[in-house]
Amino acid sequence: MEFLSRGYKGLLGEKGQPQSVEITISKLCDRASNSTLLEDRRAAILGLKGLSREYRLEVGEKSLGALLHILNEDRADIDTTKAILEVLNILCTPDEQQDPAVDLGVRFTDEIVHDSANINLLLDLLQEYDFYVRFHNVQLLGTLLSIRPDRVQDCILTAPMGISRLMDLLDDRREIIRNESLLLLIALTENNADIQKIVAFENAFERLLEIIAEEDGLNGGIIVQDCMQLTHNLLRYNVSNQNFFRETSCIQRIPALLGVSLDYKHKDYEIEFLAQEWQEQKVTNTIALLELIRILVVPNNINTLNNQNVMAQCGVLKTVVELALSSNAPSSVKAHSLYALADLIRGNGSSQEFLARTVVTVPYSSQRSDSTQNLTSDSNLKSNRSSHEQIQTLPPRPTVMAIIAVAVGAEHIESYTARAAATYAFECYAYNNPNAQVALASTLTPPPDDNPNSNINTVKPQSAGSLLLSALLEWEDSEADPYVVWFSSVIFSHILMNNEKSKELARGIMIGEEDNINDHIPLLHSIVKNLILATRQNADVRVLIGYLCVLCIWLWDSPHSVKEFLSKDAHLQILIGPITQSSGVDSRVQGLCAFLLGICYEFNHSPDSPVTRTTLQPILLNRIGADQFVNRITRLRESPHFKHVPQYIQVAPEEEARKLPELYFEYAFVEFFKNNYEKIQRSIITDPKLTFGGSDFQGDHDLISSFKSVIQTQELEIIEFKETIRQLAEQLEIQKSSSEQQISSMNEEIQSLKQAIETQKSERIKLEKEHEDLFVCLADQDANIKKYRERLIELGAEVTDAEEDEGDEDDDE
């Protein structure tokens, strides 16, 4: 109590009267800086802490520098350090209602981060194990980072052991400290690739996965979501971290996190899997994990193919398929699962083949409604099955067929988001997969009128193609759900896209009653017939757009299909009519009709076509006009719904709440249109006799086919030559590397021999010099002996014969 008493007295004036705030703060700052006793300094800091909330400006201006100095000098005192960190937190916390230009929190933050030594000091204080010191320190770093992220990131990046100390906080057994450090690391790793790499190589992935496991996986709380968010930051757009994540076998741990057993043989597995409880946080965590999968397999990424292969091998692909199509997951989870499935197989032949081979067990609830009502994810969350008896399973069906069923709404329970995701999944299945396109086109048979093999009227055993055709042709229900036709049109267009064999098979499909063969009409005519009827009955514009997009894809670069389309006069009229109308027709429909009409003219090469190019051009120019034709296509190109199409089909959350989402076009068709619309705009004014690159002949399709065959053969030869060149280049590189190694080895040996020779030379010179020195010494010795003998003789000493002989020998020498 003594230091509190001293602190209170310090706030009084000369006569014991209270003094002004400015004078009080000045005295407290002076006492905190200059008092000899630690207790006095601590009492002054506590006084400043008490005033800091109400008088932030005065306390910050007068004491900020002093507090930082004291923090550096008295860091060993836990109570003082804790009090200073609390004051700094109060001073730097921004006011969200104030303009950042005048916000005191921003101002004081700038003063702190201006000197990197202050950030280094805070990082050093992380070594202190005291709970409150660590807690307030992490909070202060988070506050500074939120206000000046770039500056704080630079300071932490250059601080010795700075990131390592932050990472050590993840191992703190106190959950509050660990959780706050997670939030700090999430903010720190935003948009900084260098920090992301360092954090990743500090064993971040292993630590995060351990935390997730401790929190009961996806069943855990918001901490699991934070761990996922940090993992997203480390992996998104960071190739080296993605490599590290794959090479450290972290991908192999994803199936276990999803909670799907890879042992599908144990008893009651299906019931367990279908009866999962989906709490709101589990839904969020699962979606975050699915987003992690998508980050690793982003289309056109250098790591995508390797990551796809690893995920297929370790069971991630199968797990995602089961979650998307064989679980009781909410619609939002199924939608994200289908998007993840799409990216997992896009452009990967082996994964696409795996999907074609697999079958899934589709859940069927006894409480399922047969209506076409679309349920949102919230309603799905509330409809978790309370007992196993309410869940049934239908006979296994091919996975591709199950995807089509979800897309066209055959299940009657999926949201538009899930149906859009299923459509995108099918698009990725057909992407660069001509064999799958042909296989699906071969199943395009009219659906059976009845089915005695099933007593469940919602799902009849049929082929994927017949299921698709039934959705494509039954446009009468479009008033309730126009997306049955739209989604089926998108799927059908991807079966036909850039595949003449699929188009040929589709042309062979006949639609009509089985008992009246004479009334059968080709599938192409049936689609046009539906387009005519839908136009006359003012069907939803999405239905018209879906049919027109399919026809554009079908007729493109397919003279036989164009010939079949032109075999009925009414088909031309259904296109010309909307183009020439000045009002009452959607501009997007007018643009598509003009584009389709241009395709009919551009690819009308068949010599036996019922309407030749020479006949067709005057009709186009006289009834429509070149300017109007170009304007209709240009207006479609500039349509907002056309210009702002996302790269994959998706429904925004706010659109899901509305009756119908704003989906009119899909990205693949938009790209197809953008690449070719200028060519079509120019086509109708060219000479009708100038077809196939300007050659003066009319549609000798056999010759065109032969040219195409030659081109394909040459392309194959070019591919073979490129492969040969690549192999020769590899051999040359190997030989070059081997030669360089030999030359390097020989150079090293030569250098070694040179060094040995130089050493021997120096030793020889040294020995010669020693030898000369010895001769000089011997000569000096002989001279001294002779002198001493002569001296002895002069002194009368006797010299023995041996000595004489030695003397004589010396003389002789």
Whether 228 and 284 have beta carbons less than 8 Å apart is answered as no
**pLDDT, tens digit, for every residue of 374-420?**
333 444 444 444 434 455 666 889 999 999 999 998 866 678 999 99
Span 426-440, mean pLDDT? 96
**pLDDT, tens digit, for every residue of 163-207?**
999 999 999 999 999 999 999 999 999 989 999 999 999 999 999
pLDDT at residue 705, rounded to an integer = 62
Using DSSP's 3-state secondary structure scheme, residue 398 falls into strand
User: Cα(351)–Cα(428) distance, rounded to whole angstroms?
Assistant: 11
pLDDT at residue 652, rounded to an integer = 82
For the residues of 151-171, what is the DSSP string, one character each? HHHHHHHHSTTHHHHHHHGGG
- Contacts of 398 by beta carbon, 8 Å cutoff, 6+ apart: 356, 358, 359, 360, 464
pLDDT of 737 above 80 = no
Whether 412 and 406 have beta carbons less than 8 Å apart is answered as no
- Residue 273 structure tokens: 């899997």
What is the pLDDT confidence band of residue 46, given thresholds at 50, 70 and 90? very high
pLDDT at residue 455, rounded to an integer = 38
Whether 603 and 704 have beta carbons less than 8 Å apart is answered as no
Whether 49 and 70 have beta carbons less than 8 Å apart is answered as no
pLDDT at residue 225, rounded to an integer = 96
**Neighbour-count burial of 282, counting CB atoms closer than 10 A to its CB (0-12 exposed, 13-18 middle, 19+ buried):** buried
**pLDDT, tens digit, for every residue of 603-631?**
998 888 899 999 999 988 999 999 999 99
Nearest Cα neighbor of 477 from 574, 412, 427 is: 412
What is the pLDDT confidence band of residue 299, given thresholds at 50, 70 and 90? very high
pLDDT of 734 above 60 = yes
Chain mean pLDDT for the chain: 85
pLDDT of 797 above 90 = no
**pLDDT, tens digit, for every residue of 663-709?**
999 999 999 999 999 999 998 888 887 654 433 333 445 556 667 77
- Contacts of 780 by beta carbon, 8 Å cutoff, 6+ apart: none
pTM of whole model > 0.85? Answer: no
For the residues of 261-292, what is the DSSP string, one character each? -S-TTSTTHHHHHHT----HHHHHHHHHHHHH
**pLDDT, tens digit, for every residue of 477-524?**
767 889 999 999 999 999 999 999 999 999 999 987 666 666 789 999
Instruction: Name which residue leads in pLDDT, 700 or 54.
Output: 54
Span 645-660, mean pLDDT? 84
User: Cα(523)–Cα(223) distance, rounded to whole angstroms?
Assistant: 55
Q: At what angle do helices 56-73 and 38-52 cross, to 10 degrees?
A: 150
Nearest Cα neighbor of 525 from 499, 540, 547, 544 is: 547
Report the Cα 620 to chain-centroid distance in Å: 47
Q: Which residue has the tokens 């706010």?
A: 654
- Contacts of 209 by beta carbon, 8 Å cutoff, 6+ apart: 227, 250, 253
For the residues of 502-556, what is the DSSP string, one character each? HHHHHHT-EES-TT-GGG-EEHHHHHHHHHHHHHHTT--HHHHHHHHHHHHHHHT
